[in-house]
Chains A and B, each alone.
Chain A
Amino acid sequence: MRFPKLPNLGLGDRIPSHQELERMEKEEAGDRPKWDNKTQYMLTCVGFCVGLGNVWRFPYLCQSHGGGAFMIPFLILLVLEGIPLLHLEFAIGQRLRSGSVGVWTAINPYLTGVGIASLLVSFLVGMYYNTIIAWVMWYFFNSFQNPLPWSQCPVNANLTDLVSECTRSSPVDYFWYRDTLNTSTSIGDSGGLQWWMVLCLLCAWLLLYVCCLRGIATTGKAVYVTSTLPYVVLTIFLIRGLTLKGSLDGIKFLFTPDLNELMNPSTWLDAGAQVFYSFSLAFGGLISFSSYNSVHNNCEQDAVIISIINGFTSVYSATVIYSIIGFRATERFDDCLEGNILALLNAFNLAEGSIKEGNYAESLQNLNGTFPETIQSLDLKTCDLQTFLSQGVEGTGLAFIVFTEAITKMPVSPLWSILFFIMLFCLGLSTMFGSIEGTVVPLQDLNIFPKRWPKEAITGIVCLVSFVIALIFAQSSGNYWLALFDSFAGSIPLLVIAFCEMIAVVYIYGIDRFNKDIEFMIGHKPNLFWQVTWRFVSPLIVLVIFVFYFVTKVSSNVTYIAWNPSSEDFPTLEVLEYPAWIYVIIFILAGVPSLVVPGTAIFKLIRRCCSNKNVYGAEVDTVSAKVQMFTTKMS
């Protein structure tokens, strides 16, 4: 029984047949780029998948959704959602030997919109992702001094006291919000360009350009460093972290399972979303990368291996991050306790060493019994290690505030700072390679630029345009713009694209044809697991996540958090509502890529009806040349 599929005319004429693929393979014809070796391909894919999210999103999710128990939904969804989608993208790219626009146009010309949506998403995400790399570079440049600039508050202008904004919050907060971002109080207040940020942004884009100049010829060399260095640094940090006091508390806190969290649906949804975004699916980059492989490359094995590496990296980096967070929490706890003990000693003129950590509780009780008013007036802080550990921070807060603070407490801080930011830089850069690939190759496929323009020029133009638009993020309000882009450009459109990809392959291309293709490429038909997941399970999971996200975003009041030194709860971030004109921007970010998918189909339909010409062109090989034939319908 053949699996139902939608009618799709002329498919065989648009894609190379198996015999043609064999011929192309033997003759090594065509000017399509190729990988130098399998290692380059694997490292590029691993680099694209493993990114900043593995380091600063997964540990937070793990800790906030029941620690070790979070592994269960994460691993289940990795297997049911991540691996099938990855295999699908690898296989379709390898079979149809084209970037995202080329692949979907070949399957059906009305599906070009999916490729264009991938292009737009890659472009938008690449813009703000590289800004994060610019921030990482800024911290990297500032790590070459001792003491680190974020370890102490600066003195104010007339040298009488430390800057008040810093004393009220903390040196790391101050360095991040004031010295780095110089953040304004709301997204509407643009505050002008910050020259140091513009320089760092320029550096980031130039560095990206030099690595992507010739496509995979240059990125293939760069990934030897950018994909492997993070693991080296993570291992160094693990060894260093385990020798610090309190690190094991952190790891225990991370992995202590709370099985009740499994009953909470948001745990499963967060796990699903994390798996999806972590694999960098629907960007078009993976399709492109696998199209440079030889036809008989075992894409099934690649998909499984890369998924395992991605999952392992998430867990490994979570362990490292939380060992350092455990150390920081213990330091904070010790400082807090010491402060309290000192206050008690000073107030009651007791000898030093008479109150220690061990007898603090009972001493406090005794003193409270005899002198309650004095104890009240001292205003002692409550020191609880669990509170410090659960100051769960994710995203930029983790890297630029929590972790940098932990580094200042370690001996030889500049060294650890340099290593940490090199690691973040490599993680981000290798993901950017995939983004650029997902932007440049569709542009070439769509013939936006003349064919004779070299790849260097097209990459240069893409980098230049992205840099100019990314100057938004170098303003005072840049941080808020970035959070906006992150929430909307990088979330909903990707889910839409992934869903359309699966429908396209299973129902429009035809799962039976796809199975035969895979049998031709790797030698055996995909087994029952792949059949079930491709046809039902993975599309369903993606649909559920999309509906949930959409409903949450639409129904809730869209707010953002701002740094405002004059707010009442300072240093807690202020919750503000977006102004009305932001909704236009949100529509452009989330709506336009999603609507391009049906929009292009409708556009092509209208064009076909208006010009009376059938879009299903065919190419016929004659003795002298390829002749384009169009069947014209008389209507």
Chain B
Amino acid sequence: MLVWILFLLCQVGAPALAQDLCQRDAPNGYKVRISLKTALGEDAYEWNQSEMFFFQATMAFAMRRHFQMETYNVDNIILCVQTSRVSFWFVVTSPDNTTMLIPKADVEKAVRMSRHRINNAFLLSDRTLEFLGIYPTLAAPVNPDTPPWLIVFGVVIGAVCVGIIALLISSLLQKRRKEKGMTEDGQDEEDMQVKGVENGINLDGTYNRGFTDDDRFTKL
């Protein structure tokens, strides 16, 4: 009889005891906040008891993954203080002793380890599935070997240098061609002087045909 009363008490008291363990601002509990509409918009699913059960299962998995030896169950995750936000509190009890709570630090380690899996289970992200007090680890910065801007810089400055060299060389060639053209013009001018036309300053006086080289005309 006494055993039967104790049994009844346990059945009634267990949930009451569980409620005592899990409450708002529980020292070993965490508040979870879920923003379905922000994350999924039109495709947001409804948050109901089944989803809560899924959460319990996911948390149990996370605890098992972290503590490997101990077999956590859905009953070890106690939820309370649900609001329409959607937000709720949860605490984790030990599988060996249901009245003992797992310390906050251990729960945090378990959550951090499986955060990615937990997020994906609910199609959410670090921002939309928040564990208040557990800050997401920042992604390590991607440091490429060469900064991308140096590559573009190299291309541009290479093209510019090629352009400068090409233009300078073509200027030089143009000048050489002009100088060659001018010396040929100079010879034309001398011929014209021979013909007696004076252009510009004649420094040598008139050309005396008597002293021309006659070899090209007379051949002995």
Q: Are B85 and A206 in contact (CB under 8 A)?
A: no
Q: Are A210 and B160 in contact (CB under 8 A)?
A: yes
Q: Is B114 an interface residue (CB 8 A)?
A: no
Interchain CA distance A624-B199 in the complex, whole Å? 10
Q: Please indicate the chain A residues that have their CB under 8 angstroms from the CB of B83 in the complex.
A: 349
**A37 CB → nearest B CB, Å:** 21
Interchain CA distance A154-B139 in the complex, whole Å? 10
Interface centre among B83, B149, B151 (most CB of A within 10 A): B149
Binds A, one of B32-40, B102-110, B118-126: B32-40
Say whether chain B's binding surface is mostly helix, strand, loop, or mixed: helix
Q: Is B84 an interface residue (CB 8 A)?
A: yes
- How many chain A residues sit at the interface, stated as a range, is 35 or more
Interchain CA distance A140-B155 in the complex, whole Å? 13
Q: Please indicate the chain A residues that have their CB under 8 angstroms from the CB of B175 in the complex.
A: 454
Interchain CA distance A203-B86 in the complex, whole Å? 56
Q: Are A155 and B160 in contact (CB under 8 A)?
A: no
**Could you say which of B38, B150, B156, B167 contacts A214, with CB atoms under 8 Å apart?**
B167
Interface string of A339-354 (1 = CB under 8 A from B): 0000001100111110
Q: Please indicate the chain B residues that have their CB under 8 angstroms from the CB of A200 in the complex.
A: 153
Q: Please indicate the chain A residues that have their CB under 8 angstroms from the CB of B139 in the complex.
A: 155
Q: Please indicate the chain A residues that have their CB under 8 angstroms from the CB of B35 in the complex.
A: 352
* Known A155-B140, A155-B141, A213-B168: A142·B149 in contact at CB below 8 Å: yes
**Could you say which of A196, A199, A352, A456 contacts B37, with CB atoms under 8 Å apart?**
A352
* Known A159-B138, A213-B168, A346-B85: A352·B153 in contact at CB below 8 Å: no
**B146 CB → nearest A CB, Å:** 12
Q: Is B201 an interface residue (CB 8 A)?
A: yes
Q: Please indicate the chain B residues that have their CB under 8 angstroms from the CB of A207 in the complex.
A: 156, 160
Q: Please indicate the chain B residues that have their CB under 8 angstroms from the CB of A259 in the complex.
A: none
Interchain CA distance A214-B175 in the complex, whole Å? 13
**Could you say which of B37, B85, B138, B160 contacts A203, with CB atoms under 8 Å apart?**
B160
Q: Are B164 and A144 in contact (CB under 8 A)?
A: no
Q: Is A387 an interface residue (CB 8 A)?
A: no
Chain B residue at minimal CB-CB distance from A349: B83
Q: Please indicate the chain B residues that have their CB under 8 angstroms from the CB of A202 in the complex.
A: 157
Q: Please indicate the chain B residues that have their CB under 8 angstroms from the CB of A160 in the complex.
A: 138
Q: Are A144 and B85 in contact (CB under 8 A)?
A: no
**B116 CB → nearest A CB, Å:** 17
Q: Is A138 an interface residue (CB 8 A)?
A: yes
Q: Are B38 and A210 in contact (CB under 8 A)?
A: no
Q: Are A352 and B36 in contact (CB under 8 A)?
A: yes
**A144 CB → nearest B CB, Å:** 5
* Known A141-B153, A209-B164: A214·B171 in contact at CB below 8 Å: yes
Interchain CA distance A209-B168 in the complex, whole Å? 11
Residues of B within 8 A of A (CB): 33, 35-38, 83-87, 138-141, 148-153, 156-157, 160-161, 163-164, 167-168, 171, 175, 201
What are the nearest 8 A-B pairs in CB distance?
Answer: A349-B83, A141-B149, A351-B84, A352-B37, A349-B85, A141-B152, A210-B163, A145-B148
A–B Cβ pairs within 8 angstroms, 9 of them: A144-B151, A155-B139, A155-B140, A161-B138, A202-B157, A209-B164, A349-B83, A349-B85, A456-B167
Residues of A within 8 A of B (CB): 137-138, 140-142, 144-145, 154-155, 159-162, 196, 199-200, 202-203, 206-207, 209-210, 213-214, 218, 345-346, 349-353, 454, 456, 624-625
Q: A141-B149, A210-B164 are in contact. List 9 more A-B contacts (CB 8 A).
A: A138-B149, A141-B152, A141-B156, A144-B152, A199-B153, A203-B157, A206-B157, A210-B160, A210-B163
